[in-house]
Structure 1
């Protein structure tokens, strides 16, 4: 990897290919206020603040090593577009990279963290919707970036941000005033609560909690039947509420857990946490879920929920649903952000 160090997320969820479909196919709203879209070799992810990120890759049917271009634009009038480049090679990192798109040549980009100079971005955007491909060279190495789908994805970005027909549109420019562009949406502010410390005897709650659940609650949902009790955990949330974590689904490289909130005394009344799945961190009150679409980990979906004193609320989601050969994933594209 020549553009950045990739941190590989932990693995917690099963059925990665199915869940990643929400980040890859057509237009989607995976999280509240978010929108994802893909066409051919380009994909778009706009988060709940209307910040949009479009990423293009090498052709899935070609023989180029992995290469990607990322365009990031915040919402609001006159917002600038930031462009980053990334390539992958198993050889030594080139000191510089050269990008050529149509009639535009951008030589000597920093090989470790290549970004397109702001002054060159407008010209680059023009060439992206005209050319069929772009080339990147570094030393004797060459990468070919497909531009198939770029125009459709950039048009969708304009649509989401309300730019179509304005001077700042990426594809369909016009004379509508920039003031008509949709403004940014503030990120939601979460009021989170740190779980109280564990108490002596919390582990002993496992047996009565499982009895209150009944065997059918786990047999119907867990891969391979009910797991052994020694892999289950009970966490203290509040003075009277606890969390039961049951590692449940096992895949080739992902796994999932069932989570239940319950009273710490009869009636226990364990209730499943709908749409919350992952590993609980008692120190922060966070449930973290990561899934990769295939073994090399080049496409991911990551979600987190925080405890708010009563339950768990979504606090963040990001991922990159296009599996194009970058170990650990090419980019982290936020779909949902909070404060």
Structure 2
């Protein structure tokens, strides 16, 4: 993955941006939460004085000259109430400053739908300004905040090299569109085969030596590691290859969650541990999944590492968007690292 662009993440008020290492960018905006600034109070008279209904829009643009922006609408349905009151299918009218800009059909169980190119263009024209953006069924209204949108769209243009070009979303100019940065293919990572029966049992002296080495490698980052183990196998060891092993153990404990630390080590002392992550979750067949809840149960961090025969390469990194009660687990996929993982043969 050396030489590929680095993805970025950026958040400003009610909008966020994730651009990945292929230079694809995804911006997401949400209902207002704050009663200061351009959006005014987050309570909406059209919804009988209740807090703004959860809603999100994602704008996706690939890198390269003359690339269009694709818009999607996602109606929040995190709680039971929305499902109970929402009919099987409902048509929502998109409004910009009270002017209709076409309808969007939303079906229960399929809570997101693409916007037409015309609706997306109207939205892009309205977002950098004080325009009022709404979706309504005549009884209830979902209000989309524009606080932070201008900064996020400007950052998207900057990352993709579009500033001062005709295709820029905010700062348009006459610079040649051919100067826009090109798209980059996702890096290919060959996942090395690992033994099917990968469990390794170390002797008691070797395990004690390993524990000391692991503690020294992370210091205070893993308080649970320094505590006495509850059983002899508190540190789990698995075989990756003839000379390399994977060691893991509980790193820290929270009120409702725990995190595992993972290291690659030599198959025999000196173990020379190299930390992969202190925020791990599960390991399976050469892959470490470190996905975890970010707040409640409506947003997540997404992280993954894959063994390539020499080291663990991070093959996924991103989030599912802000914790705004859009959906269980989050409203979108907003990666900053994407890869093309291909499997090699499994070792016996």
1:45 is matched with which residue?
Answer: 18
Contact 2:259–2:278 (Cα < 8 Å) also in 1? no
1:330 aligns with: 331
Deviations 1:31-57 (A, max 9, x none): 961111121111111111111111111
Distance across 1 between alignment mates of 2:82 and 2:138: 11
Matched with 1:297 is 297
Greater Cα shift, 187-196 or 97-106: 97-106
User: What's the CA shift for 1:246?
Assistant: 0.5
* Inter-partner Cα distance in structure 2 for 1:250 and 1:133: 44
Give, in angstroms, the shift of residue 216 of structure 1: 7.8
Please report the TM-score for the alignment, with normalisation by the length of structure 2: 0.79
What corresponds to 1:250 in structure 2? 253
8 Å Cα contact 2:214/2:273 also seen in 1: no
Specify the SS of the correspondent of 1:56: strand
Q: Which residue of 2 aligns with 1:210?
A: 207
Q: CA RMSD in A?
A: 2.4
5+ long unaligned stretches in structure 1: 1-30
- Give unpaired runs (5+ residues) of structure 2: 35-41, 43-50, 341-348
Pick aligned residue for 1:91 from 68, 82, 102: 82
Alignment counterpart, residue 102 of structure 1, candidates 78, 81, 97: 97
Q: Is the 8 A contact 1:41 1:147 kept in 2?
A: yes
Structure 1 residues 210 and 158, CA gap change in structure 2 (3 angstroms): same
Counterpart in the other structure of 2:273? 271
Number of residue-to-residue matches in the alignment = 304
Q: How many Å separate the matches in 1 of 2:203 and 2:54?
A: 48
**What CA distance in whole angstroms lies between the structure 1 residues aligned with 2:266 and 2:258?**
27
1:70 Cα offset (Å): 0.5
Secondary structure, counterpart of 2:196 in structure 1:
coil
1:244-291 deviation per Cα after TM superposition (whole angstroms, max 9, x unaligned) = 111221112332112232333x425150324464145332x1111022
Larger radius of gyration: 2
Greater RCO, 1 or 2 (C-alpha within 8 Å, sep 6+): 1
Query: Distance in 1 between the 2:236 and 2:208 partners?
Result: 15
- Are the equivalent residues in 1 in contact too, given 2:213–2:273 (CA < 8 A)? no
